[in-house]
Amino acid sequence: MKSKNILLKVIVELSRLILGATFVFSGFVKAVDPMGMAYKLQDYFLAFHVDFLSGLSLTFSIMLAVIEFLLGAFLIIGIYRRKVTIGILAVMCFMTPLTLYLAIANPVTDCGCFGEALIITNWETFYKNIILLACAIVVFLKFDLITNLYTGKFYWVVAIYSLLFITAFSIYNCIYEPVFDFRPYKIGANLPELMSVEEGKGDVYENVFVYQKDGNKKEFNESNYPWQDTTWTFVEMSTKLVKEGIKPVIHDFVIEKLTFDENKNQIVSEDDITQEVLSDTNYVFLMIAYSLTSINESYLSSFEDVNNYATDNGYKFYCLTASTSDETMIWEKENSFNFTYCKTDERTLKTITRSNPGLVLLKNGKVLNKWADLQVPAEASLTKPLTQLDAATVDKSPTVEKTNRNTLIFLIAVFVIPLLCIKAFDFLIYQKKRKKETEITE
């Protein structure tokens, strides 16, 4: 009987750790990039025809991150065990059939449960949720076997601090760029490399030729089409995917430069300058503004300063937007910034930077630095060419891994150390109370 109880205890604690770690990780990565999760929620709202909720997507994103993180943290710590296990079971009972539907119907390409940090397929998400549901049932039925790290009198202190921590962290990442960047356009990314695949490993296509003879149409390939047989008449040519290969990480990054007439009343030309930008051996500034009509105007003067600085020092400066040509011309007429405007896909721009607008610095197609709107370098700091400024300020790519590691250590310390202090205080009070009770008993 004793060994059976030990085994049950082990199963409960293992289930608790699996669930807790998954929920903490899921909530944390959502809190790292609330805007990214908000975009994913908008995809969900559109797929389920409730897009009127899109205006609340960021609020829901932060709430989702906070709830997941707190449920996982509380389960690992062992506070509010009954309520937490009920909450987690309710979440899993809702998410498991939902992810089964997503796997079958595939209305969105991935569930977004781990943000950009870990992208898994809808079927992988469903299988994961089956395991988590089983763990949730175990901890729900045997919640009393979960080890409790605090006495009941300190539950509220731990809960309030945890809530403040994850909420403040989420809001910080809304105001600034995410402290951890899991996107393809992160600092240090070589865009040309990410836009291509190794020769022979990509998709294989075949040209299909359709010819007609005696009223009958027939398809041919490049090796057997009857180009010399005059009895056949050419109808059309198409391209067919023969073998699916590796997809490039970035496949939708295109920059089309807009050229206005002298009075900026119409577009004279739209030229694809993607390769020109990515192969530029000099510094290139990209102002990312997916929507000019809803742009944050508070820091636009800083972007104008950077544009003037780039012009004075021989650097290119482009404003990339998904706004229509008419919207772009009207906006430029109203503001007279004299930016060089380019059209780029909206989702691509939202992936590059979460800020509208944001700023990216490239050289040879490599991302050297990124800034949210309120972080854009001020005019006072742009006194010399980039080659003469502090290298660490201009190019953050060599130190990005170290910065990420230090940031993670800092965040763990900020969250864990206060909880350890609360535990120490809880232990001292509990021990003092226990000693007093022992003395009374004696």
Q: Are residues 6 and 145 in the same domain?
A: yes
In a domain, 206, yes or no: yes
Alpha-helical segments (H) within 78-228: 81-105, 122-141, 155-175, 191-194
What is the model's pLDDT at position 440? 46
**pLDDT classification of 87: cutoffs 50, 70, 90:** very high
What is the model's pLDDT at position 243? 74
Q: Which domain holds residue 74?
A: 2-175
Helix (H) or strand (E) holding 277: helix 274-278
pTM of the full structure: 0.84
**Are 208 and 219 within 8 A, CB to CB?**
yes
Alpha-carbon distance values, 265 to 257, 268, 328, 336 (Å) = 16, 9, 11, 13
Percent of the chain's residues with pLDDT above 90? 50
Q: Are residues 54 and 171 in the same domain?
A: yes
Mean pLDDT score, 72-89: 95
User: Mapping DSSP to helix (H, G, I), strand (E, B) and coil, where does residue 420 land?
Assistant: helix
In a domain, 426, yes or no: no
Percent of the chain's residues with pLDDT above 70? 96
Q: Are residues 291 and 330 in the same domain?
A: yes
CA atoms within 13 A on the CB side of 339: 30
User: Mapping DSSP to helix (H, G, I), strand (E, B) and coil, where does residue 86 land?
Assistant: helix
User: CA angle, corner 186, sides to 386 and 196, nearest 5?
Assistant: 105
The one-letter code for the residue type at 20 is G
Tokens matching residue 289: 């503004």
In a domain, 439, yes or no: no
Q: Are residues 219 and 303 in the same domain?
A: no
Count: domains in the chain:
3
**pLDDT classification of 162: cutoffs 50, 70, 90:** very high
Q: Are residues 239 and 262 in the same domain?
A: no
Residue with tokens 């003092």: 432
Is residue 412 scored above 90 in pLDDT? yes
Helix (H) or strand (E) holding 321: strand 316-321
In a domain, 421, yes or no: no
What is the model's pLDDT at position 434? 59
User: Mapping DSSP to helix (H, G, I), strand (E, B) and coil, where does residue 105 land?
Assistant: helix
**Alpha-carbon torsion (322, 328, 331, 336), positive or negative:** positive
How many CB atoms sit inside 10 A of residue 283's CB? 21
Q: Are residues 233 and 112 in the same domain?
A: no
In a domain, 141, yes or no: yes
What is the model's pLDDT at position 220? 86
User: CA angle, corner 428, sides to 427 and 431, nearest 5?
Assistant: 80
**Are 273 and 255 within 8 A, CB to CB?**
yes
> Cβ neighbours of residue 360 under 8 Å, at least 6 residues apart?
185, 285, 286, 288, 352, 353, 367, 369, 370, 371
CATH number, domain of 286, equals 3.40.30.10
Q: Helices 81-105 and 122-141, interaxial angle, to 10°?
A: 160
Q: Are residues 9 and 157 in the same domain?
A: yes
SS3 content of the chain, % helix, strand, coil (to 5): 55, 15, 30
Q: Are residues 49 and 156 in the same domain?
A: yes
**Are 211 and 234 within 8 A, CB to CB?**
yes
**pLDDT classification of 240: cutoffs 50, 70, 90:** confident
Residue with tokens 């299988």: 127
From CA 171, how far away is CA 416, in angstroms rounded? 20
From CA 429, how far away is CA 418, in angstroms rounded? 17
**pLDDT classification of 40: cutoffs 50, 70, 90:** confident
**pLDDT classification of 225: cutoffs 50, 70, 90:** confident
In a domain, 405, yes or no: no
Residue with tokens 């699916």: 244
**Are 316 and 284 within 8 A, CB to CB?**
yes
From CA 214, how far away is CA 229, in angstroms rounded? 13
**Are 344 and 256 within 8 A, CB to CB?**
yes
Q: Are residues 171 and 84 in the same domain?
A: yes
Is residue 12 scored above 50 in pLDDT? yes
In a domain, 427, yes or no: no
Show which of 140, 175, 210 is a domain's final residue. 175
From CA 80, how far away is CA 71, in angstroms rounded? 10
List, for residues 243-265, the tens digit of each pLDDT value. 777 778 888 899 999 888 877 77
- Which residue spans within 165-278 are E strands per DSSP? 204-213, 216-220, 233-243, 256-260, 267-272
203 alpha carbon, distance to own chain's centre: 26
From CA 30, how far away is CA 62, in angstroms rounded? 8
In a domain, 118, yes or no: yes
